[in-house]
Amino acid sequence: MVGDSGLWAKVVHLLAVFSWMAGMFYLPRLLVYHVECVVGSAASELFKTMERRLLNAIMRPAMVVSVGSGIVVGLLGGWFEASWSWVWLKVLLVCLLVIVHVVLELHVRLLAADQRGYSGRYFRVLNEIPTVLLIGIVVLVVLKPF
């Protein structure tokens, strides 16, 4: 890693990842509660506001900064060389995390339009996917197994 700039890139990356993951853990839980309340109710309208603000103010910006700063950290650390296979698996897991984020955004849009095609159980299961992906990412980064 190249000097202080590399350390600051890591700091920015970690803070962004923490923020993004907090949202990735919380948003599906909001969706569970949202689909289980009555359409048009005060609770439903409150969940719409909470979901929109979480996405716009925290999750989407944190995702962009996480991915951007992760690329910077990887470049400064020379991790994108062919011999660093663990990093390519990490990139795959991060891409899957981005896909889950996009899926959550689509669900928020559907619920904002009062379109409810999924149950609370679906969102409870969806809530576990970011956890599994995060575990894989952390194991790869810390252990660098291959």
Checking if the pLDDT of 127 tops 80, the result is: yes
* Cβ-based neighbours of 123, under 8 Å, separated by 6 or more: 28, 29, 31, 32, 35, 107
Domains of the chain, by residue range, sit at 3-143
Could you tell me the pTM of the whole model? 0.93
- Chain centroid to CA 118: 20
Q: What is the mean pLDDT of residues 39-49?
A: 98
Q: Look at the block and give the residue holding tokens 């969706």.
A: 31
Residue (of 15, 4, 31, 54) closest to 117 by Cα position: 31
- Which residue is it, tokens 């993004």? 20
Whole-angstrom distance, CA of residue 51 vs CA of residue 21: 15
Q: pLDDT above 90 covers what percent of the chain?
A: 87
* Rounded distance between C-alpha atoms, residue 24 and residue 127, angstroms: 8
> Smallest Cα–Cα separation from 31: which of 124, 103, 132, 130?
124
Res 134: pLDDT = 98
The residue behind tokens 């197994």 is: 145
